[in-house]
Structure 1
Amino acid sequence: MPNYSGELDAVLRALADPTRRAVVERLAKSPAVVSDLMAPFSMALPSLLQHLRILEDARVVTSSKQGRVRTVSLRPGALDVLHLWLGEQRTSAERQADRLGIHLARTTPKEI
């Protein structure tokens, strides 16, 4: 089993909050400036910046600043650790069912 528990813990903590999950969902579409990210939330700028800092510390998002405009992007591969961990948690019955499905898909019935 790979040792990525620290990274996994950080990602899970960051995604535990519904606001941060909504930000990640928005950033999955395209990068956005902070003012655009604020639009759907009724919170002050410092509160949103705190959420973004938690996502950045967990290495889920990155940001860049040009002049007074800060653009936030979803970090490529940021959620891979979560995907890997979830894949390891699948039960053996699920894996067997998957293998059976693949086998059945490859097997064509013989014509009589």
Structure 2
Amino acid sequence: MTVELRQLDWSDLSAGLARGEVDAAVVRLPFPGQERLNVRELFAEERGALLPARRPLANSETVGFRELWDELFVAAGAGTGAWREHWLAVDEWEGHPVRAAVPLCHPRP
């Protein structure tokens, strides 16, 4: 058996699984189409907020979502759907719009 390791960019959240390009992948959940695949959760990550040291909330041990309503978030593009919504915790915002900026991604040389 030959194992080939590949790293894919963020544009394919399934890392090639959904298109049948790879047999196995380590990915972050949730991703579109995962219900059609055999998925095993290896570990769970907590969501957190990183703030510049000069922001008043930066030294808080815990921060509620209402306290973040005026903050700008760095997030994956809207095309990433449920994955983006999960990491932005959209369900916790009580219908308040999340202010998100999409980081610029440059292709590898």
Q: Which has the larger radius of gyration?
A: 1
**TM-score normalised by the chain length of structure 2:** 0.19
**TM-score normalised by the chain length of structure 1:** 0.19
More strand by share: 1
